[in-house]
Amino acid sequence: MNDLNLYPESSTSLWIQNTINGNSGFTLKAKNALYCGASPFQKVEVFDTYRFGRVLCLGGTIVMVENEDTYHEMMVQPAVMMHPKPKKICCIGGGDGGCLRELLKHDCVEEIVIVEIDALVQETIATYFPDYAAGFEDSRVSVVIDDGYTYLASTEHTFDVILVDSYDPGGPVQSLETADFHQVVAKSLGADGIAVFQTDSPITRTGFLRSTIQSVSPFFSCYKPYVCTIRSFPEGFYSFLLCTNSEPVLEMFDQKRYTTIESACTYYNMDIHTGAFLLPQFLKREVYS
């Protein structure tokens, strides 16, 4: 029997390599390349893979995989479960539709503003990821093509939750990594408002979580880092930083709201919510010492 019939993936030589600082990485075998384009901001690519379905790459970095929901669930759900009335949400860098899909699981959410600097990202999603693109047709959703800093600095709107879903530190939107931006985010939140920043891997980018905490601390009286495991990310470990100026929010969890989305999640649940905020010892030292 021909081995290629048993293992069809062995017939391809196309590999996607996602490395961090040139020291470690994640390698994924692809069936074929579906799209390659470039915007003024970055290269945009889509591959069809054996393990994770379709994969979106921006600037040579894997930012979304079709068959894994962990990143977007953990970016969105903890904050939405902790806010007492999460009605107005702003997602900075949400053009891939992943965070949007999570937000639309909640009937209590009335308005979602997606701020995406690169129009080609949303266009690519519309063509190659129809399940993700469907969320943009929801009447609660509006899309702004703009720099996230510029949008928040100029808008008069305030939000209950702001998700800073920047693709990778050091990426095309440098304005999202400054103290000025963190101040603008804080001013754009309403009462009990929560901001979530993705803070990369505390293993492969040691110190980034701590430097982010130092940057946000003048503008937020309370913060809480949390972590998760992501199969498609180099070394499999990722961190986020949840910030607020309302200390009681940090201990909230809406049990009733959770029951409405429980069956729609593949990673996030009540136990994960609690455990995500329990940091391993090396990370506690990094953050608190």
pLDDT digits (tens, 9 = 90+) for 25-73: 778 899 999 999 999 999 999 999 999 999 999 988 888 999 889 999 9
Q: Which residue has the tokens 């961090």?
A: 20
Residues 13 and 79 in one domain: no
> Is pTM, for the whole model, over 0.85?
yes
Domain that holds residue 153: 70-288
Q: How many CB atoms lie within 10 A of CB 248?
A: 11
Q: Do 116 and 41 sit in the same domain of this protein?
A: no
- Give 280: exposed, middle or buried? Use CB within 10 Å, 0-12, 13-18, 19+: exposed
Same domain, 200 and 249: yes
**Mean pLDDT in the chain?**
90
Among the ranges given (10-24, 59-73, 81-95, 153-167), the one the predictor scored with the smallest mean pLDDT: 10-24
Q: Are residues 79 and 97 in the same domain?
A: yes
* Helix residue spans in 134-277 (DSSP H): 148-154, 179-187, 208-216, 255-261, 270-276
Give the catalytic positions in this structure: 165
Residues 17 and 109 in one domain: no
Same domain, 114 and 180: yes
Assess whether 74 and 26 both reside in one domain: no
Short-list 72, 79, 77, 73, CA closest to 95: 72
108: Cα separation from own chain's centroid: 21
